[in-house]
Amino acid sequence: MLRIHRLPRCLLPLLLLAITGCVSYQVPDADYQPFNRALHQHVRHIGILTPGVAEDLQVRIVNPAENNLPLLGPLVAEGVAASRSSRLEALTAQQGFRQGPTMLDSLRKTLERAGYTVSHIELDRPEARFVRRYQDYPAVDALLDAYGTHAGYYAAGSSTPFRPTVFMGVRLVDARTRTVLFSDSFVYNPIGDTGDAITLQADAAYAFTFYDDLEAAPDKAVEGLKQGYQAIADKLGVLLR
Amino acid sequence: MSLRRLFAILPLAALVSACETLPSRADGCLAEFNPRGAKTLKVNRSSSWNLRIYEDAPCRKNADGSESSYQILALDEYEQPYYVQVLSLTSRDRELFAPVVAALDADARVTRWIPSERWVYRGDRLTASLFFNAENARDRYLVVMSNPLKVGQTVKQRLQEQERTSLLIASWYGGDDRELNLKLTRYGQVQLKARRDPSVE
């Protein structure tokens, strides 16, 4: 009999995947808190904490046809996805693209356009989630804490196009009192149940019918991802005005 | 009058009184909002408030000659800052109420409204929030009305979903883009949540 408790822990997700063929996409865990701008007018200087990034860029078919083959099918699909994902990560890296700095750049531009003075506060994040305990940063009025759970190119099924996808959670915290002033989650190119997250439609100009098309145009792939980050940042900018 | 007779008459009287006081479409389309008989939107209730704006809802004639259907709620007595989150819900027919949400003073005149750019989609729901702070003490009512500039427009929302095809005992799972063509309408259902602002506690 299979003794599950003797299996290495890292194999358990693969075993579950092989049995169920299910992959869930985690929406950032951000309770809804709109920003009461009129009451927090002291917030003029925002420090953006180095954004958190959950994982490398992914190229995924959310419901691949292979999942219909029991046991081996999902594992094959997972192998294909892993191979494509690492290829996309390498191709976009050649274009000088990195998720964290792109996220930071988009947020900085947006907040400056919204009239805030913006600084970058370097932070080492061991995991992609909101910061557990905020340090003292007396130079700023509020801290912008953002992290992403998924990013890359996702397709709904084996015969639907790959579209740029970004999941992001954002919080604005009072630097002095640590009170959460704003909190929400954003999904660019919604996949499955996105709960209460703000959903933004992916730009049709960056949809790729086949994976090969995506690989053949890494500059366009990078541009599509940048558009995703910027679309989220732009919406955030409106909500923080 | 005996107590028994009084209890028998009371519900009927209440019904007649409600019919007389609540504004409706039957009053005609007026240039002013009519807050008569508005129910009070309580703050910080754990439950949400469902507002139905259908053919019998009161009507407002706008300055440009267009018409809007609306419902008005009286605001709770102000104690501390709070916000009202408005969620316009998609019906089974894929129709979505096209909302304008505004605060009104005691004379039912608009003091401010939620700007259009602040509305966001959360899946197939259209949502926004309006804050009430001490400086908004003039606000007495909240009106949710249809936006004549948006009514009739179609909004595309695409969701990526798992789909299942069944044939006898076997099932085939795949994924597809579910294109939702949401028609913005004059009538529909809106959910309201009034919550204290925890950022000032």
Taking the C-alpha atoms of residue A120 and residue A140, their distance in angstroms, rounded to an integer, is: 10
Taking the C-alpha atoms of residue B62 and residue B31, their distance in angstroms, rounded to an integer, is: 6
* Residues present in chain B in total: 201
Which residue does chain B place closest to A185, by CA atoms?
B122
What is the model's pLDDT at position A17? Answer: 47
Segment A74-102 shows an average pLDDT of 91
Q: Which residues of B touch A (CB under 8 A)?
A: 81, 83, 85, 117-118, 120-123, 129, 131, 133, 135, 156-163, 172-177, 197-200
Stated pTM of the model: 0.86
The string of pLDDT tens digits covering residues B122-165 is 999 999 999 999 999 899 999 999 999 999 999 988 877 766 66
pLDDT at residue A20 greater than cutoff 50: no
Which residue does chain B place closest to A62, by CA atoms?
B175
Most confident segment among A29-33, A67-71, B151-155, B159-163: B151-155
Burial B179-198 (b: 16+ CB within 10 A, else e): eeebbbbbbbbbebbbbebb
Taking the C-alpha atoms of residue B6 and residue A225, their distance in angstroms, rounded to an integer, is: 71
The string of pLDDT tens digits covering residues A172-210 is 999 999 999 999 999 999 988 889 999 999 999 999 999
Burial A112-121 (b: 16+ CB within 10 A, else e): eebebebebb
Decide which of A139 and B6 is more confident: A139
What is the model's pLDDT at position A21? Answer: 47
What is the model's pLDDT at position A23? Answer: 54
pLDDT-derived band at A24, boundaries 50, 70, 90: low
Chain A residue numbers with beta carbons less than 8 Å from the beta carbon of B196 are none
The string of pLDDT tens digits covering residues A155-178 is 988 889 999 999 999 999 999 999
Q: Residue B59 is encoded by which pair of tokens?
A: 């009507």
What is the model's pLDDT at position B196? Answer: 93
DSSP A166-231: EEEEEEEEETTT--EEEEEEEEES-BS--TT-EEEPPPGGG-BSSHHHHHH-HHHHHHHHHHHHHH
E runs forming strands in A76-193:
117-121, 142-157, 163-174, 180-188
What is the model's pLDDT at position A64? Answer: 84
Segment A58-87 shows an average pLDDT of 86
Q: Residue B130 is encoded by which pair of tokens?
A: 């309006």
Q: Decide if B145 contacts B99 (C-beta within 8 A).
A: yes
- CA-based torsion, B135, B141, B144, B147: positive or negative: negative
Low-confidence stretches of chain B (pLDDT beneath 70): 1-22, 25-26, 162-171
What is the model's pLDDT at position A30? Answer: 83
Across chain A, mean pLDDT equals 89
What is the model's pLDDT at position B99? Answer: 97
Which residue does chain B place closest to A187, by CA atoms?
B122
Q: Decide if B76 contacts B39 (C-beta within 8 A).
A: no
Segment A124-153 shows an average pLDDT of 92
Segment A135-153 shows an average pLDDT of 95
Taking the C-alpha atoms of residue B197 and residue B192, their distance in angstroms, rounded to an integer, is: 15
To test the contact with chain B by mutation, choose from A61, A63, A141, A165 the residue with the greatest count of B C-beta atoms within 10 A, namely: A63
Q: Decide if A102 contacts A31 (C-beta within 8 A).
A: no
pLDDT-derived band at A219, boundaries 50, 70, 90: very high
Segment A145-152 shows an average pLDDT of 95
What is the model's pLDDT at position B200? Answer: 87
